[in-house]
Amino acid sequence: MVLAMFFVSTTAFTQAPVQVREQSLPEAQQDVKPYKVYCEIVATPKLFSNKATVELDFGQYASFWSADRQLVDEDGNIIIFNSALDAANYMARRGWDLEEVFIVQEMSNGDSGTTRYHWVLSKMVTDDSQITEGLRTKGMNK
């Protein structure tokens, strides 16, 4: 019985390897190495609401007073998230991985201030055009 088990286990490893057909990349992309890019979700709880205002920072230019970094749907309407975690799940479905989370409490004139949740995400790409793939911010609609 032991000899039979030994025979079965050794023959399973000595069979010819199965050929796996690899997808061929265009010649220009064959030498391109994937690299990591980052995105920051900045979520601010909405006043008198359970929802959160979410902005995405890919390092893109955005006017200080505008909502250029807010995510929008296909019709250009701002997407309102339940929380920063809701936004992180939205990004995870688009290939982004969580790197770090930190909270910043912005105080002004003795009040309780504004709490902002920062979620740093990363994604592997081979071209900068893949950074915002599947995403649209208000600033992209201009």
pLDDT tens-digit readout, 96-136: 999 999 988 877 776 677 888 899 999 999 999 898 898 88
Name the residue with higher pLDDT: 14 or 76. 76
Is pTM beyond 0.75? Reply is no
Confidence check: pLDDT of 2 > 70: no
Q: Which of 82, 86, 63 has the alpha carbon at shortest distance from 138?
A: 63
Q: Which residue has the tokens 């220009």?
A: 28
Beta pairing partners, 124: 36
Per the prediction, the chain carries an average pLDDT of 77
